[in-house]
Structure formats: C-alpha cells, structure tokens
C-alpha cells in the first residue's frame, strides 16, 4: 500500500494530500479525489481554472475529471500554464477545454483577467 506522501503526484505543488483515501473504494482502489485550483460560481455557471507549471503533466484522473466537467453546459474549463504566488504571477498560456480539445485562447495575466471578466459579464447578461 502506498504511503500518504507517495500519493502526491507533484511534490512541488502544495495541495491537500488525499493519499489517505487510497484503497477506500474496493472496486477502484486507485481512485482518489483531485483538487481544482480555481473555481467561481455565478448564476449556476462555473468557471474552472486548473493551473499547471510548464512541463507539469495533468494526471489521467484529472484529465477525466476536467473533460467530464467541460461537457456540462454550465461549466467553462480552462487550463492555465503558469503559476501564481504571493510575489509573482506568470501566465504562459490559457487553454479552453471544449469537445475534448484544448484550444489556446490567450496568454499573460491581462488575457486571463479579460477572459475571466468576459465570462462573468456574459453570465450577468452584459
């Protein structure tokens, strides 16, 4: 059985470690939750942002999760290549997940801010 610290797929990303749930579902013992880095709800519409550092892979389980969310009509799913800390934010690319495909829709903090505001305004009917 894996130890808790081995369940973290990326030791550089500080996330909640769900390793304690490994084996909890006997029919799928490898099933553990995934975290989502960014989510906002407005008027029953959801903006999801998953941040990945350059060359950081999306796990198979997270791919399945994000694709399933993107198929739902009220979910807008983005993968953001970059990072954001207290001291620095870098956005190398912004990708929208639709129809099981990632399509680049922008890069840089300003593009992300514009996409986010555009989503919010569209939900508000503006």
pLDDT tens digit sequence for 96-117: 999 999 999 999 999 999 999 9
Burial of 41 (0-12, 13-18, 19+ CB in 10 A): exposed
Pairing of strands 75-84, 45-52: parallel
Task: pLDDT tens for the chain, 126 residues: list them.
Answer: 333 344 444 555 566 788 899 999 999 998 889 889 999 999 999 999 999 999 999 988 899 999 999 999 999 999 999 998 888 999 999 999 999 999 999 999 999 999 999 999 999 998
Q: pTM value?
A: 0.83
**Nearest CA-CA partner of 78 in 118, 30, 31:** 118
Contact (Cβ atoms closer than 8 angstroms) between residue 54 and residue 42: no
């Amino acid at each position: 059985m894996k130890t808790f610290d081995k369940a973290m797929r990326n030791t550089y990303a500080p996330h909640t470690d769900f390793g304690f749930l490994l084996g909890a579902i006997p029919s799928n013992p490898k099933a553990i939750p995934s975290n989502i880095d960014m989510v906002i709800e407005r008027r029953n519409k959801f903006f999801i942002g998953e941040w990945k550092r350059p060359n950081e892979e999306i796990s198979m389980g997270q791919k399945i999760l994000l694709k399933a969310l993107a198929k739902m009509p009220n979910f807008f799913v983005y993968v953001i290549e970059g990072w954001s800390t207290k001291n620095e934010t870098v956005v190398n690319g912004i990708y929208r997940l639709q129809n099981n495909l990632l399509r680049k829709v922008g890069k840089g903090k300003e593009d992300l801010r514009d996409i986010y505001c555009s989503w919010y305004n569209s939900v508000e009917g503006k």
